[in-house]
Amino acid sequence: MLLVDCSNCHTPLQLPPGAPSIRCALCHAVTLVADPRSLPPSSSHSSSFHHHHHGHHYPPPPPPPPLSSSLLHPLTGIQFSQAMAATTPTHLSFCLHRPTLSSPSHPRLLRRPHLLELRPPTPGRLAVRTHATGSDLLGDFGARDPFPAELESGFGDKVLGNLNTEHKILIPVASALSLAEQDFSPVSPLQSPMSLDDAQKLLKKVVGWRLLEEESGLKLQCLWKLRDFKCGVELINRIYNVVEPAGHFPSLHLEQPNQVRAELWTSSIGGLSMNDFIVAAKIDKIKTSDLAPKKRVWA
């Protein structure tokens, strides 16, 4: 056996003495696919060739050496992944694509694209992805509980806010409930009227009402602009039906043009009480959209 180098890729080869070709199997196979003229002629072409050339006999080309089993049909592409692993020192990936031919009507316009494409291994293909998982199969969700060492370090001493985030279910108190859901309480004549500061805080819980500061005391007032006189009478009837069970009636006035004015106060104490705001919240729940004037849309 002789130790020689391939004439194309300079790969070390072991060939017997008198070998007709000094090329490795990989280079020989690529040459056969890239250049179809190097294929051995068929028997019919060979006999015709010998007959028309005055009987000259040429030695047939040597048969190609056996290739790896990963060699596929030339029309579908040839891909060598581990061909000649024993003779080649490095690993290369070859991909031969199917050549795109022109239309049959123009055989002379045959295009021969690049058949050989080298794909060296890139770092992106060898990247390993890691996923962080918790003790369970689904992993951790949201924030985690601090470790004992973190609690001992006092990492949350300088954090603004409440350190204890334990949720407590509180029973709703009367002040947290809606004013319309509260019950009326009897008012004693000896009770002092509500102060201006308290009245301004409760005023934010009723819609459309405003405070009136008069000599007789504080009052609540609300105005409704309606479509016509009949709608004004209907609104007064709806207000009466709502406040009748409580027995605390507002002062209602039907004014022109088509306006209803309501005033609330507790005359026994000369000012406002909690009952006035409860009545105002109940009146706010009355439906008045069907009584309001229609809006004109100008094109």
Per-residue pLDDT of 178-187, as tens digits, reads 788 888 888 8
Domain edge (last residue) among 52, 77, 98: 98
The number of folded domains in the chain is 2
Domain edge (last residue) among 79, 98, 117: 98
92 with 183, same domain? Answer: no
Whether 108 is covered by a domain: the verdict is no
Whether 107 is covered by a domain: the verdict is no
- For CA atoms 49, 52, 53, 56, the dihedral sign is positive
183 with 279, same domain? Answer: yes
Whether 141 is covered by a domain: the verdict is no
Whether 3 is covered by a domain: the verdict is yes
pTM across the whole model? 0.42
Give the pLDDT band of residue 118 (cuts 50, 70, 90).
Answer: very low
Whether 134 is covered by a domain: the verdict is no
Which residue range(s) make up the domain with 216? 179-284
Taking only the tens place, the pLDDT of each residue in 194-229 is 999 999 999 988 988 999 998 889 999 999 999 999
- Beta-strand ranges (E) seen in the chain are 2-5, 12-15, 78-80, 94-96, 116-118, 210-214, 217-225, 251-255, 259-264
Domain edge (last residue) among 73, 98, 123: 98
Taking only the tens place, the pLDDT of each residue in 52-69 is 444 455 566 666 555 444
CA separation for the pair 244, 237 (Å, rounded): 10
- Looking at per-residue pLDDT, the higher value among 124 and 273 belongs to 273
